[in-house]
Amino acid sequence: MDFFLLLLVNGLVVGSIYALVALGFVLIYKSSDVLNLAQGELVMLGAYICFAFVVQYNIPFFAAFVLTLVFSTILGLSVERVVLRPLIGQPIISVIMVTIGLSSVLRALVQAFWGTDTRPFPTIVSEAPVMLGSIPISQVYIYSLAVSLVLLAIFTAFFRYSKTGIAMRAVADDQQAALSMGISVRRIFAMAWIIAAVVSAIGGIMVGLINGINISLSYMGLKVLPVAILGGLDSIPGAVIGGLAIGVLENLSGGYIDPIVGGGVKEVAPFVFLVFILMIKPYGLFGKEIIERV
Amino acid sequence: MLALNNVEVMYDDVILVLKGLSLQVPEGKIVALLGSNGAGKTTTLKAISGLLKTEEGEVTDGSIEFLGKRIDGRDAATIVRMGIFQVMEGRRVFEHLTVEENLRAGGYTSKGDGNLKNKLELVYNYFPRLIERRNQKAGYLSGGEQQMLAIGRALMAKPKLMLLDEPSLGLSPMLVQEIFGIVRKINQEERATILLVEQNARIALGIADYGYLMENGRVVLEGTPEKLQDNEDVKEFYLGLTDVGKRKSYRDVKHYKRRKRWLS
């Protein structure tokens, strides 16, 4: 039972980070119908930038954290300006291909600056585990879970109630009609990329705190893609539930099945689950269905 | 208020759609812009509202002035802020947003949410039917309700000039009557000037103060609704009446085709 609970808690923590990164996918997809294949690289870059601030420049963690968010904001803004704006009005597939290119460039940059070795993050949060009943949970897990949940709640409210959030959804629905009511589509795209870069960086930092960082952090993108698709590519609650579900599933299958078959199930399980869900609900669990009036 | 002088619009640098179009919309009036398919009515509206750019269209000659300022070439967001709001053809509501969210998106340009309540109230006053549907997704509304929502969205921006593109499209005659009645009311009570594009010439001339008839990218006839309604060609081609003023019947089909007598 304890083993199960341990796996469950680990799953929830990892899942909440997945949910955060999936939020990045969802935001960009929601406002511009583009699948951002450089999402994982945004995660990685955010983690490395924070790492650089803390370890190489000796800036206290919280200041470094804020500086990383500022950096991500600028990164999101410049990606929109330099890479995406020239592509407005071009087919979506071209934009998606460009994000693949962007991912290569970012990965190469990180390798050029920091190499490929795994770097441990200095200990920020005390390592003494907290006991939850009979299971020990490390404090960093609790913090990342809390941060993720708070951020997810903020963004859910933002999209439902704020004017800008509604405008972003309006742009996703019908760009030209949104334009006709004075919503600047370019600004909305820039916002989406900024938020995506920021949440990815936060996700990256938290993974870094838990596992240390290396270049394979960029595969997070690939791992989170099934999360986003499972929840429905354009649904924020979907990203949350998809993230938690995949996180738990991954840990449970890793804990119970891997020892029997000799490993590997942990990596495959999310995709198997995804295939089943998509057979039943092709738009994902909470994706918007195409409304057809007859 | 709004003046178009010899406006030429070209799409994709090759297709000339408006060929020297001039028209005026005086403040507080309803002006109807009539014409058949492909005459360039929608293009005219998009040229005014700045939506041409997204379709590779461009004003290549002439000028568009609004309240004394040139607005051709400015981007759509600026033009909306200046007080021009286009209600696009085919309603174009945001299907996955609720009715109320649609309305809030319409009021995007107005600053502060303080008077949001008042404005919502105003819209629901004109369109009571939207109240009960306020939390429903707009995609599930009926066609008439969607058109109401589209006009309501425009009201949220408190525009000085409203551009209505075929509000009668796909609606039952009863609903068309209702919606045009409300348009008239909005014009009188909200002091909104209206430029109305319609294929349904009869109903458009019924509420308009002045009318323009377009064909092939230019204005071929203009005048008060009475004058237009009396024109033999308008009667024949747009109102479906014969010389004698009776409804046209296909029982006695004419053996000659009337030719239009304006120069085009």
Q: Identify which has the larger pLDDT, B119 or A294.
A: B119
pLDDT bracket for residue B242 (50, 70, 90): low
Task: Closest CB to B77: pick one of A176, A177, A184.
Answer: A184
The packing angle between helices A163-173 and A139-161, to 10°, is 70
In a domain, A149, yes or no: yes
pLDDT of B86 over the 90 cut: yes
- CB proximity under 8 Å: A 195-254 to B: none
Mean pLDDT over the full length of chain A: 86
Q: Do B97 and A169 touch (CB under 8 A)?
A: yes
* pLDDT at res. B79: 94
C-alpha to C-alpha distance for A206 and A192, rounded to whole angstroms: 21
C-alpha to C-alpha distance for B94 and B140, rounded to whole angstroms: 11
In a domain, A89, yes or no: yes
> Percent of chain A scored above 70 by pLDDT?
98
CB pairs under 8 A between A and B: 83
Range of the domain at A206: 11-217
In a domain, A28, yes or no: yes
pLDDT of A170 over the 70 cut: yes
Contacts of B77 in chain A (CB under 8 A): 179, 182-184
pLDDT of B112 over the 70 cut: no
- CB proximity under 8 Å: B 47-86 to A: 49, 51, 54, 56, 75-77, 79-81, 85-86
In a domain, A184, yes or no: yes
pLDDT of B67 over the 90 cut: yes
B214's CB contacts (< 8 A; 6+ apart) are B21, B33, B34, B35, B39, B40, B41, B44, B220
Of A10-19, A48-57, A241-250, B106-115, the poorest mean pLDDT is in B106-115
Q: How many domains in chain A?
A: 1
In a domain, A258, yes or no: no
* pLDDT at res. A148: 84
C-alpha to C-alpha distance for B207 and A42, rounded to whole angstroms: 57
In a domain, A227, yes or no: no
In a domain, A128, yes or no: yes
Rounded average pLDDT over A120-147? 80
Rounded average pLDDT over A179-202? 90
- CB proximity under 8 Å: A 178-197 to B: 178-184
pLDDT of A30 over the 60 cut: yes
Rounded average pLDDT over B108-136? 87
In a domain, A112, yes or no: yes
Rounded average pLDDT over A207-219? 84
Rounded average pLDDT over B70-87? 92
* pLDDT at res. B188: 94
* pLDDT at res. B114: 63
* pLDDT at res. B224: 95
Q: Identify which has the larger pLDDT, B109 or B261.
A: B109
What pLDDT, in 10s, does the model give residues B130-166? 999 999 999 999 999 999 999 999 999 999 999 999 9
Mean pLDDT over the full length of chain B: 89
ipTM: 0.86
Of A10-14, B60-64, B246-250, the poorest mean pLDDT is in B246-250
Q: Do B139 and A169 touch (CB under 8 A)?
A: no
pLDDT bracket for residue A294 (50, 70, 90): low
pLDDT bracket for residue A219 (50, 70, 90): confident
C-alpha to C-alpha distance for A137 and A225, rounded to whole angstroms: 27
> Percent of chain A scored above 90 by pLDDT?
16
pLDDT of B251 over the 80 cut: no
Contacts of B56 in chain A (CB under 8 A): 89
Mutation site, B104, B155, B160, interface A, largest A CB count within 10 A: B104
Rounded average pLDDT over B80-107? 93
C-alpha to C-alpha distance for A35 and A192, rounded to whole angstroms: 12
Contacts of B49 in chain A (CB under 8 A): 180
Which residue's structure tokens are 């939850």?
Answer: A132
* pLDDT at res. B264: 55
* pLDDT at res. B253: 60
Rounded average pLDDT over A260-271? 83
Of A84-98, B13-27, B238-252, the poorest mean pLDDT is in B238-252
pLDDT bracket for residue B255 (50, 70, 90): low
- Full-model pTM: 0.84
Q: Do B77 and A182 touch (CB under 8 A)?
A: yes
Q: Do A182 and B104 touch (CB under 8 A)?
A: no
Q: Do A182 and B137 touch (CB under 8 A)?
A: no
pLDDT of A3 over the 80 cut: yes
Task: Closest CB to A173: pick one of B49, B97, B104.
Answer: B97
* pLDDT at res. B93: 94
Contacts of A184 in chain B (CB under 8 A): 75, 77
Residue-by-residue DSSP string for B86-153:
EE-TT----TTSBHHHHHHHHTTTS--STTHHHHHHHHHHH-GGGTTTTTSBGGGS-HHHHHHHHHHH
